């Protein structure tokens, strides 16, 4: 944990002794995360922020990450917002988010446009079928990976809520908001009683 | 125009419940996009997801592609902006609250409680996408194979997508 928590906004230079990143640096830093981040951007974010540019210490990165997980919304975008804000205020946030999103958005739209051009080509159709099957496996693996620690620590009480959420949303196709409104409070209370 | 308003409303709502990352929201996005709004069928949705996974950048590119599919460039910008901007404003303004809360035991309790549900949502995203992409026995084996490889090794996911694309292009899937 940080001894002196950095204020979120305001122009605080990196505690690592690195010079204050300018708007351009923030844009380019997050740009590099965006274009490198294949299959999960957070590892690239850590590498850029901590190892390459030394904008954050390891502890500050972990702190920022857990704050991003606390706030709703895509974690990496929130990361760009709070890191940008810390160095260059509102404009810094904007530079970070634009840098992160611009190239991947153009690339993915271009890829889609290209795919539409060859939509009747059996090779392209086959490639998408094969890729989709592999991609669905990625998500199952992700669920298993994040779920495993719950098994190991014998969090049987929390597993009930995992299964309930999977059945409600995945099998019965119930809307998310009512499902969360029921499951999340009970799940939290169960955790609290266990603690 | 109506589509743009619908996209904005949908993804603003989804962004504000996104506490487990975009993958956990896939079942809800699919339900709204395919079953409620009938913007596309399940197969197209699965294709958009696959492209978003194969492209560099955050998982939320799925939302960009859904917006593009529904309403072109304005759709892509509106959907992405609606997902990203309200949480960004929250992240920007909640910093001080966060520094007060962090380390408190009930915050950990809340996160553990949320976590249990989030894992279930990711699992249901997996179920959904496996079903959508199950076009043949080989497709099922590919999905099962990538799960095994990812659990057992440190293989980069892109290799698995590439292998799937290759097998598919050869007409084997």
Residue B96 has pLDDT above 80, yes or no: no
- CA-nearest of B103, B61, B41 to A63 is B103
| H-helix or E-strand spanning residue B44 | helix B42-54
Cα A179 → chain centroid: 23
Residue burial B126-163, b: 16+ Cβ < 10 Å; e: rest: bbbbbebbbbeebbbebbebbbebbeeeeeebeebbbb
Query: CB burial class (10 A; 0-12, 13-18, 19+) of residue A24?
Result: exposed
A106: Cβ contacts below 8 Å, ≥ 6 apart: none
| Facing residue for A72 by CB, picked from B19, B96, B173 | B19
* Chain A stretch 133-192, residues whose beta carbon is closer than 8 A to a beta carbon of chain B: 133-147, 150, 155, 158-159, 161-167, 169-171, 173, 175-177, 180, 183-184, 187-192
**Residue B57 Cα distances to A31, A40, A48, A63, B133, angstroms:** 9, 8, 14, 22, 23
ipTM above 0.85, yes or no: yes
Angle at A178 between CA A177 and CA A182, to 5 degrees: 115
Q: Quickly count: other Cβ atoms within 10 Å of residue A194's Cβ.
A: 11
| Facing residue for A81 by CB, picked from B80, B92, B132 | B92
3-state secondary structure of A21: coil
- Is B102–A1 a contact, with Cβ atoms under 8 angstroms apart? yes
* Tokens at A3, concatenated: 């001894």
Domain ranges of chain A: 23-117, 120-148, 155-195
pLDDT in tens, A112-151: 999 999 989 999 999 999 999 999 999 999 999 888 887 7
Is the whole-model pTM more than 0.80? Answer: yes
Give the pLDDT score at A195: 62
pLDDT in tens, B1-28: 799 999 999 999 999 987 778 899 999 9
Query: Is B34 an 8 Å CB contact of chain A?
Result: no
């Amino acid at each position: 944990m940080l001894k002196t928590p950095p204020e979120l906004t305001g122009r605080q230079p990196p505690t690592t002794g690195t010079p204050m990143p300018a708007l351009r640096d923030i844009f380019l830093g997050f740009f590099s995360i965006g274009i490198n981040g294949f299959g999960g951007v957070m590892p690239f974010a850590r590498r850029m922020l901590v190892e390459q540019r030394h904008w954050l210490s390891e502890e500050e990165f972990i702190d920022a990450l857990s704050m991003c997980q606390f706030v709703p919304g895509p974690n990496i975008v929130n990361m760009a917002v709070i890191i940008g804000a810390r160095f260059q205020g509102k404009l810094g946030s904007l530079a970070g988010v634009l840098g992160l999103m611009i190239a991947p958005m153009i690339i993915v739209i271009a890829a889609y446009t290209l795919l539409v051009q060859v939509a009747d080509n059996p090779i392209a159709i086959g490639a998408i079928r094969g890729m989709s099957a592999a991609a669905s496996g990625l998500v199952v693996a992700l669920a298993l990976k994040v779920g495993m620690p719950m098994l190991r620590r014998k969090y049987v009480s929390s597993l009930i809520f995992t299964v309930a959420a999977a059945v409600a949303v995945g099998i019965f196709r119930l809307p998310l908001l009512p499902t969360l409104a029921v499951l999340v409070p009970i799940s939290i209370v169960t955790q609290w009683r266990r603690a | 125009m109506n589509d743009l308003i619908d996209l904005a409303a949908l993804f603003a709502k989804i962004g504000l419940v996104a506490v487990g990352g975009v993958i956990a929201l896939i079942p809800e996005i699919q339900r709204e996009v395919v079953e409620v709004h009938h913007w596309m069928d399940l197969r197209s949705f699965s294709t958009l997801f696959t492209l978003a996974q194969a492209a560099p950048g955050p998982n939320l590119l799925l939302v960009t592609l859904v917006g593009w599919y529904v309403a072109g460039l304005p759709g892509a910008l509106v959907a992405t902006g609606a997902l990203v901007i309200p949480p960004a404003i929250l992240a920007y303004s909640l910093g001080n609250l966060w520094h007060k809360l962090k380390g408190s035991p009930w915050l950990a309790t809340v996160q553990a409680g949320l976590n249990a549900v989030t894992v279930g949502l990711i699992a249901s995203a997996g179920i959904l996408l496996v079903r959508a992409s199950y076009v043949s026995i080989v497709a099922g084996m590919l999905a099962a194979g990538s799960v095994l490889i990812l659990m057992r090794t440190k293989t980069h996911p892109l290799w698995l997508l590439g292998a799937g694309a290759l097998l598919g292009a050869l007409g084997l899937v």
